[in-house]
């Protein structure tokens, strides 16, 4: 019988990336959830980058986010909005990034549950967009699921993705050998 826990998609993506986000949300750690989601986008962009490339770039992140992060409301976040949010959260645990300060993307603020899931009112601010963190997680999870199907449907990309999936952090059970020493 095949141990699904050893499959890199189950191990790294479902039991690693997605589970970490779910745990953060279940414990109302919204900032932690945002960081994990944005790191997850980086990981998916890494899986999707060209074979000759070794590290994901801003363009890879933006392209992946544009294609796979979709909300069920009219307003959407751009890939550049999300990249700016990534930089702000990872570099200073904040909402302002170099890109948002220069007007190249909107500053992303965070909310708990909200309908619509993304709120933008240029009459209030042309530079600020708000997103529900649980909705961002849902959009990311749906995007990952669609992306993995798309990725493995391309015969040329599948073997590269298989190799890269093995490089993602994997949980490996470790059993300590019992010794007589105290």
Average model confidence (pLDDT) for the chain?
94
5 band by pLDDT with thresholds 50, 70 and 90 = low
The answer to whether residue 32 sits within a structural domain is: yes
* Mean pLDDT along residues 146-159: 96
Tokens of 15: 């039991």
The answer to whether residue 62 sits within a structural domain is: yes
The answer to whether residue 123 sits within a structural domain is: yes
The answer to whether residue 57 sits within a structural domain is: yes
Range of the domain at 40: 4-165
Phi/psi of residue 105, each to 5°?
-150, 170
User: For the chain, what is the domain count?
Assistant: 1
Distance CA 56, CA 90 (A): 16
182 band by pLDDT with thresholds 50, 70 and 90 = low
pLDDT of residue 171: 85
Largest Cα span, the chain:
72
Asked if 132 and 113 count as a contact pair (C-beta separation under 8 A), the reply is yes
The answer to whether residue 170 sits within a structural domain is: no
172 band by pLDDT with thresholds 50, 70 and 90 = confident
The answer to whether residue 172 sits within a structural domain is: no
pLDDT of residue 164: 96
Per-residue DSSP letter, 131: E
The answer to whether residue 177 sits within a structural domain is: no
Would the pLDDT of 174 be above 50? yes
When comparing pLDDT for 94 and 4, which is higher? Answer: 94
Tokens of 73: 């409301």
The answer to whether residue 81 sits within a structural domain is: yes
Q: Residues 62-102: pLDDT tens digits?
A: 999 999 999 999 999 999 999 999 999 999 999 999 999 99
Tokens of 159: 């073997």
């Amino acid at each position: 019988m095949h141990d699904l826990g050893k499959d890199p998609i189950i191990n790294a993506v479902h039991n690693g990336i997605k589970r970490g986000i779910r745990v953060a949300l279940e414990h109302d750690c919204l900032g932690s959830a945002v960081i994990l989601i944005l790191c997850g986008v980086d990981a998916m962009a890494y899986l999707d980058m060209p074979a000759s490339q070794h590290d994901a770039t801003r363009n890879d992140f933006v392209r992946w986010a544009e294609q796979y992060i979709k909300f069920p409301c009219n307003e959407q976040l751009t890939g550049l909005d999300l990249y700016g949010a990534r930089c702000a959260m990872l570099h200073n645990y904040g909402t302002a990034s170099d890109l948002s300060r220069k007007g190249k993307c909107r500053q992303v603020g965070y909310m708990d549950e909200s309908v619509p899931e993304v709120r933008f009112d240029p009459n209030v601010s042309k530079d600020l967009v708000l997103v529900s963190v649980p909705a961002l997680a849902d959009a990311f999870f749906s995007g990952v699921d669609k992306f993995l199907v798309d990725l493995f449907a391309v015969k040329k990309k599948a073997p590269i993705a298989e190799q890269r999936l093995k490089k993602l952090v994997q949980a490996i059970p470790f059993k300590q050998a019992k010794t007589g020493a105290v």
